[in-house]
Amino acid sequence: MPESLRDTLDNRPAGGTTWCFDVSKLSQTSLQRLGRVAPGRIVPLLAEIDQMTRSNPSLETPEDMQWHAEELLHILADADGIPR
C-alpha cells in the first residue's frame, strides 16, 4: 500500500465510516492507483464507492461487494484521468 494512502487512512477520525469493502484487500494495481489520488480526495472517493456499492441490490456477499468496489475504483480513476 502506498505510504500516502496508508497515512491518509491511518489519520481518519476514530469511529468514522466503515466501508462495505476492505481497502487492504484491493489488488496491488488498485492500491497504486488509489495512492495517486490527492490525499484530501481519498476518503471522499472511498465513501462514494461505498455508497454506490451498497446501493446495488444484486450484490449479496462480501466478495461481490469487494469485486464491485474495485471495479468502481478503476472506472472512477479512469474518468478522473488517474494513471494506471
Q: Which domain holds residue 47?
A: 3-12+19-80
CA distance 73 to 79: 10
pTM of the model: 0.83
Domain total in the chain? 1
What does the DSSP assignment read for 54-80? HT-TT--SHHHHHHHHHHHHHHHHHHH
Element containing residue 10 per DSSP (H, E): helix 3-10
Q: Is the pLDDT of residue 51 over 90?
A: yes
Span between the terminal Cα atoms of the chain, in Å: 15
pLDDT per position as a tens digit, 20-37: 999 989 999 999 998 888
Residue 2 C-beta-side C-alpha neighbours within 13 Å: 17
Tell me what the mean pLDDT of segment 51-74 comes to. 94
